[in-house]
Copies of this chain bind each other. A is one copy, B any other.
Amino acid sequence: MTLARWIGLPLAAALATTRASGGAMDLMPLPASLVAGQGAMALGDSFAASVEACRDDRVAAAAARLAPRIAARTGAPFASGGAGAAVLAIRCGAAPHPVQQAVEDESYSLSVTPRGARIEAPTPYGALRGLETFLQLIEPGPGSWQVPAVTIDDRPRFPWRGLLIDSCRHFLPVEALKRNLDAMADVKMNVLHWHLSEDQGFRVESRRYPKLHELGSDGAFYTQAEVRDIVTYARARGIRVVPEFDVPGHTTAWFVGHPELAAAPGPYRIERSWGIFDPAMDPTKEEVFRFLDRLFGEMARLFPDPYFHVGGDEVNGKQWDASPRIAEYRKQRGLGSNEALHAAFNARLVEILARHGKKTAGWDEILVPTLPKEILVQSWRGPASLAKAAAGGYAGILSSGWYLDHMLPASAHYAVDPGAGEVAALPEEARRLVLGGEACMWTEFVTPEMLDGRIWPRAAAIAERLWSPASVADVENMYRRLESESQRLEDLGLTHRSAPLRMLRRLASGRPSGPLEALADLLEPVKGYARSEARSYTSRTPLNRLVDAVRPESDAARRFARLVDRFLAGGEGRDEIVLQLSTWRALRASLDPLLAANPLLAEAEPIASDLSSAAALALRVLEGTVEPTPEDVALLDRIAAPRAELLLMVAAPIRKLVEHGKHP
């Protein structure tokens, strides 16, 4: 056994280098500091984690999961322990509080030499993060799987790194949530913001007010045992669970069983459409606060986290404006606007929650200077409110720019930074109030089978922005590592790659699905709120069309665009482009049997047809034989426009090829 010789390298250089062993240490998120060593620790066929110097039950459980996780990564049977096993020694301090707080020390150091590996961390949280880094380092070696020699010193840039999951618009089974908790832990996210009540459903069993879930959920709710199961599962991974019960708006489902809480008389029915609706609680009734006191008291016992999220977004005030009783109340109290009324309502909630031992969190609408400084503001309407909150002495987290349901590319989310812009200009102590942020998965267009694919791998780019130093910002490098991370997540049991494929094959209706997969690889769903505008959706609308099966971001299109740019810059890669275009030229015809088998695919026909025509045009231009006709120009415009709620992502590079051909 040779002694490891340490080579100091700056972080970027260490990561840009593809190492001799073939691996590339595709960590995600990147650590604060990494020094590559020489050689590697071979894993052989057994593995032992020694946790004697770390007594936390969570670390011991995570260490016990290492061998099966390594087996899943490598496809090789890994035994736990035994003579000659590769050893990872873990040393950590005790957790400072019985319940994980919003700010904890999550730092750790990890060193790997050919003789063994060691994680040291002041808390169990750091040890858990270090274990994930260790797992990410595993790579195929020449003789066996291995962990490259390395020294890592790491800590997060922001303490609050969350993912919001909306279990209301579409109900999501416990198993789906657990998978996503596994994935969050893999990329060092530490908050599940669980959106649990909405116009479309009240999703938690309440023993105090059972009509809430019995009449307000269509039978799709989490029992209290299931909630405890999720909270325990998250806790074991160093993840907090912050529940959101959105009030006073977004509450139609509450009113089905409890119309007395509403500002306008009922009866109410569970909302089936998407959007912003009028029903809101009556903020003038003591009965409402008594109700919330008891309900929140019950829920506060179920969720141990210090924070309790009360929503507070999108109250349109229509029911309040229409109520003479509320008008009178406002007049009496001198509340000049609905905003002031809402603020008074929130002040009562803060008080109630404080009595139940909780700090209040809410969307940025709740931010008014009269509220006590313990509240936390979640910025969704734009980054300005985050800076405003911090300047006013309020803690804040960013979600603006991180709405996963907007179907934006990972690069767009990656460019968003809670510490940039107006926040960067704030004084140090105000900047420190910016605790981090949350990716948001709203589920109007997400069923359980689509969930993983709508979150991952894009959320990993957000996780990196929240963990890694601000200087980690190279987009190409991020995409390279994201591909590795995506595979690691599948090994962990996520279905973001397998489920979309299964949906495509269902659309192929028993015919060979290759041509449909090739088309889908080039498509993305329309962005932002465009789907809601495209047709009338409800919670009953089947989400089983092509737009539901294609992934949010087309890797194939990104690669083709890069190929075209390189070719147009220097002439390289012509053969590859010609081969690619030839495949697309033949695509439309190869779809014939699928189009015949399933009427749901009819909407794909014009897209495929125009793609094949445009590919043929580009091929003719590459052969130098064509000056594009007005029909050709119309064709290029057509493929650039959304159809069937889909975008053909190779439209732009094909246009570039054609236009470049015109002016040689």
**B503→A501 contact, CB < 8 A:** no
Enumerate chain B residues within 8 angstroms of A75, measured Cβ to Cβ: 447, 449, 503, 506, 542-544, 548
Enumerate chain B residues within 8 angstroms of A548, measured Cβ to Cβ: 75
**B491→A510 contact, CB < 8 A:** no
A297 within 8 A of B: no
**B575→A586 contact, CB < 8 A:** yes
Stoichiometry (number of copies): 2
**A559→B512 contact, CB < 8 A:** yes
* A interface bracket (residues with beta carbon within 8 Å of B): 35 or more
Min Cβ gap A581→B in Å is: 11
> How far apart are the CA atoms of A73 and B503 in the complex, in Å?
9
Enumerate chain B residues within 8 angstroms of A497, measured Cβ to Cβ: 501-502, 505
**B511→A544 contact, CB < 8 A:** no
Q: Which residue from B487, B498, B503, B511 sits with its C-beta under 8 Å from A483?
A: B511
**A74→B542 contact, CB < 8 A:** yes
> How far apart are the CA atoms of A447 and B447 in the complex, in Å?
31
- Chain B: CB-nearest residue to A576: B586
A598 within 8 A of B: yes
A284 within 8 A of B: no
Q: Which residue from B18, B77, B483, B502 sits with its C-beta under 8 Å from A512?
A: B483
Min Cβ gap A577→B in Å is: 11
Give the residue among A23, A142, A447, A487 with the most B Cβ atoms within 10 A: A487
Min Cβ gap A561→B in Å is: 15
- Chain B: CB-nearest residue to A542: B76
**B598→A22 contact, CB < 8 A:** yes
- Chain B: CB-nearest residue to A79: B540
> How far apart are the CA atoms of A171 and B582 in the complex, in Å?
47
Min Cβ gap A420→B in Å is: 29
Mark interface residues in A582-600 (1 if CB within 8 Å of B CB, else 0).
1100100000000011111
- Chain B: CB-nearest residue to A484: B510
A141 within 8 A of B: yes
**B139→A509 contact, CB < 8 A:** yes
Enumerate chain B residues within 8 angstroms of A447, measured Cβ to Cβ: 75, 77
Enumerate chain B residues within 8 angstroms of A506, measured Cβ to Cβ: 73-75, 487, 491
Enumerate chain B residues within 8 angstroms of A543, measured Cβ to Cβ: 75
Min Cβ gap A478→B in Å is: 13
In chain A, positions 63-86 with a C-beta closer than 8 Å to chain B are 73-77
**A22→B599 contact, CB < 8 A:** yes
- Chain B: CB-nearest residue to A503: B75
A99 within 8 A of B: no
Task: Show the binding face of A for B, using Cβ within 8 Å.
Answer: 18, 22-24, 26, 45, 73-77, 139-142, 447, 449, 481, 483-485, 487-488, 490-491, 497-498, 501-503, 505-506, 508-512, 540, 542-544, 548, 555, 559, 575-576, 579, 582-583, 586, 596-600
Could you list 6 examples of A-B contacts with CB < 8 Å?
A: A139-B509, A140-B599, A140-B600, A142-B599, A485-B510, A582-B582
